[in-house]
């Protein structure tokens, strides 16, 4: 069951006392506020011949382009994780830089491991945990801060930004005991489709096959989306930390299942088969880039497919450099455009019209999406039987990078921008960096942080926000999969006395971000709805407002019938304080 949220600001600026109504008429943002968008791009440079990092380059060696336009470099630094890393790279042609130890610039690397136990089975979890144990058995490397998060339907943090060996190993022991749901997903996923009753339409085989294929793809998308939401919430939680940020996502990419769609040539006469989670991985790459994360995807499931010896050795699998990774960061006209689509030409159909299984196509596309999402952020995808060497290769890559920054001529416009970093004088070097980012508005970024806090179980109300539920409007929609829709009015009251307000001329000013989303009993989440709200009070009425007034915000949510949890979050800009109110609704 899918849940939906529809928010509409009905009235803003009301107060508990009629005397304060006039004070709330002017809700405009203050003139003269400006935002400078400094875009930082971590860049790795690798010698194509040796595979070793290239150190000792200077800002003049690089060229940076945004959407094809050259950008002046405003900030540049060569960074090592620690001084030991700098010394170990001295043989790469930068002896002088390594010897100048007093001038070394070191920076903590924030590594977040997220174990997707929702789709992984026990064998995949064991490989992941054992591989991480082997890497950190002797201690956490200097310059590295480790977090360990697990998701099996709910997010849980087992280690939070630690560099303590014992704490991390204890967290890995705890992760080994967390229930995995991959096998359950496989059985449930297959049974739901196999046990579906036969349709009574005239061409029974064709229509039944088509319907089951649609159900398969739809359920695939819903289950993978839950993992994507968990990954985005995890990145949002750690987005504010200093240093280089890396998310290592252990996931098979989609549920394993004993049933796969089957298609015949006639199925492609008026339609094509799509891989809908393409948009999920697209969104995940954009989110990682926007929050400053480099994403590595690791599949420890042990799946065997015929894609070359790299899969058998289990170290890494990356797309050829000729593949257009930057395509994820080019503007698209509408959501859902550019899906991974196949047509009849992708199959060798025989004249008899035998149906063809999409099992191999799904496997190939699954791997491609994991690779695309990672490489678009400057990371990599690894398909590992032995996770230890895979993680070691990630740690090695994180030992050194260049930080390049430029000032973009836009801020918070919500558009997608591509990035290209070049070394025109060094064609023998490979440049690895994120391929673009989304310049998200402040309200959206705040909403993502709020959703993250909600999904990690935060439940606090320092702003004293009251949420009142209005009269519910229930209606049915004929022909819809979830036919019952419930309109739930919500009335938020934010006390002025709890807000941190600053005096600006003849007004007192504050700003909050209001975020709502819903989650059903199966873990499906609605789109995020975020609203930026400026709150002002006339200076001569401020004391009265603080004593007995509140700011009133009306909105409405539309949810499917049944048990739903609606999350309401309010974050204050000046203090950063956040109120989170989970509401359980059952209509």
Q: What residue segments make up the domains of the chain, in order of their start?
A: 12-34+459-586, 109-397
Residue 155 has pLDDT above 80, yes or no: yes
What's the mean pLDDT in 348-376? 68
If phi > 0 it is left, if psi is from -120 to 50 it is alpha, else beta; for residue 304 that is beta
DSSP state of 458: -
Residue 511 has pLDDT above 90, yes or no: yes
- Which residue has better confidence, 348 or 451? 451
Q: Which of 175-184, 388-397, 532-541 has the lowest mean pLDDT?
A: 175-184
What's the mean pLDDT in 436-456? 86
Residue 277 has pLDDT above 90, yes or no: no
Query: Which helix (H) or strand (E) element contains residue 397?
Result: helix 387-397
Residue 554 has pLDDT above 60, yes or no: yes
What's the CATH class of domain 12-34+459-586? Answer: mainly beta
Across all residues in the chain, what is the average pLDDT? 76
pLDDT digits (tens, 9 = 90+) for 63-98: 999 999 999 999 999 998 776 655 554 444 444 444
Query: Which helix (H) or strand (E) element contains residue 221?
Result: helix 204-238
pLDDT for residue 526: 82
pLDDT digits (tens, 9 = 90+) for 528-549: 888 889 999 999 999 999 998 8
The DSSP secondary structure of 320-349, one letter per residue, reads -TTS-GGGGGS--SSTT-S-EEE-GGGS--
pLDDT for residue 249: 96
- Which residue has better confidence, 416 or 352? 416
Residue 322 has pLDDT above 50, yes or no: no
DSSP H stretches of helix in 252-383: 278-290, 309-313, 359-375
Fold of 109-397: Rossmann fold (3.40.50)
pLDDT for residue 446: 84
Residue 238 has pLDDT above 50, yes or no: yes
pLDDT digits (tens, 9 = 90+) for 206-236: 666 667 777 777 777 888 888 999 999 999 9
pLDDT digits (tens, 9 = 90+) for 23-72: 333 444 444 455 678 999 999 999 999 989 999 999 999 999 999 999 99
pLDDT digits (tens, 9 = 90+) for 559-587: 776 778 888 999 999 998 999 988 888 76
Number of H helices, E strands in the chain: 12, 28
Residue 523 has pLDDT above 60, yes or no: yes
Q: What percent of the chain has pLDDT over 70?
A: 69
pLDDT for residue 429: 96
Whole-angstrom distance, CA of residue 372 vs CA of residue 265 = 29
- Which residue has better confidence, 260 or 162? 162
Whole-angstrom distance, CA of residue 527 vs CA of residue 517 = 6
């Amino acid at each position: 069951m899918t849940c939906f949220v529809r928010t509409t600001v009905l009235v803003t600026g009301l107060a508990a006392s009629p005397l304060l109504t006039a004070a709330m008429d002017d809700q405009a943002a203050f003139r003269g506020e400006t935002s400078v968008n400094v875009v930082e791009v971590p860049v790795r440079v690798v010698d194509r011949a040796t595979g070793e990092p290239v150190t000792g380059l200077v800002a003049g060696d690089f060229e940076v382009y945004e959407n094809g336009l050259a950008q002046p470099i405003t900030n540049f630094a060569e960074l090592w994780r620690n001084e030991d890393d700098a010394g170990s790279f001295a043989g790469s042609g930068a002896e002088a830089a390594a010897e100048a130890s007093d001038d070394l610039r070191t920076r903590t690397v924030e590594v977040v491991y997220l174990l997707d136990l929702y789709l992984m089975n026990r064998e995949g979890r064991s490989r992941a945990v054992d591989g991480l144990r082997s890497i950190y058995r002797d201690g956490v490397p200097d310059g590295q801060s480790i977090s360990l998060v697990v998701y099996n339907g709910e997010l849980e943090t087992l280690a939070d930004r630690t560099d303590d060996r014992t704490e991390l190993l204890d967290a890995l022991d705890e992760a080994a005991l967390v229930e995995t749901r991959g096998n359950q997903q496989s059985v449930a996923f297959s049974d739901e489709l196999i046990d579906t009753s036969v349709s009574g339409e005239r061409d029974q085989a064709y229509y039944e096959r088509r319907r089951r294929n649609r159900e398969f793809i739809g359920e695939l998308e819903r289950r993978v989306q839950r993992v994507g939401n968990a990954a985005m919430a995890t990145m949002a939680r750690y987005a504010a930390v200093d240093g280089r940020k890396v998310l290592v996502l252990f996931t098979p990419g989609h549920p394993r299942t004993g049933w796969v769609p089957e298609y015949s040539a006639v199925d492609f006469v008026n339609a094509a088969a799509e891989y809908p989670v393409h948009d999920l991985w697209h969104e995940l790459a954009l989110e990682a880039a926007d929050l400053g994360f480099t994403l590595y995807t690791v599949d420890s499931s042990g799946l065997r497919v015929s894609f070359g010896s790299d899969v058998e050795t289990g170290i890494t699998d990356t797309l050829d450099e000729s593949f257009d990774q930057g395509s994820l960061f080019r503007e698209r006209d509408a959501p859902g455009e550019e899906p991974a689509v196949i047509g009849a030409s992708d199959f060798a159909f025989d004249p008899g019209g035998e149906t063809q299984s999409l099992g191999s196509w799904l496997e190939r596309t699954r791997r491609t999406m994991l690779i695309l999402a990672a490489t678009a952020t400057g990371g990599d995808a690894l398909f590992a039987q032995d996770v230890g060497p895979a993680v070691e290769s990630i740690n090695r890559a994180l030992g050194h990078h260049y930080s390049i920054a430029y000032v973009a001529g836009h801020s918070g416009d919500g558009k997608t921008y591509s990035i290209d970093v070049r070394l025109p004088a060094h064609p023998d070097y490979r440049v690895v960096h994120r391929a673009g980012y989304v310049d998200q508005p402040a309200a959206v970024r705040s909403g993502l942080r709020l959703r993250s806090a909600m999904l990690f179980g935060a439940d606090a109300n320092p702003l004293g926000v009251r949420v009142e539920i209005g009269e519910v409007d229930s209606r049915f929609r004929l022909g819809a999969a979830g036919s019952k829709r419930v309109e739930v009015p919500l009335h938020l009251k934010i006390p002025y006395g709890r807000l941190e307000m600053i005096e600006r001329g003849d007004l007192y000013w504050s700003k909050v971000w209001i975020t709502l989303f819903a989650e059903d009993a199966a873990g499906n989440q609605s789109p995020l709805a975020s609203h930026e709200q400026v709150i002002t009070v006339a200076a001569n009425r401020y004391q009265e407002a603080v004593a007995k007034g509140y700011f009133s915000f009306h909105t409405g949510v539309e949810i499917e019938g049944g048990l739903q949890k609606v999350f309401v979050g309010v974050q204050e800009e000046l203090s950063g304080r956040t109120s989170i109110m989970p509401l359980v609704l059952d209509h």
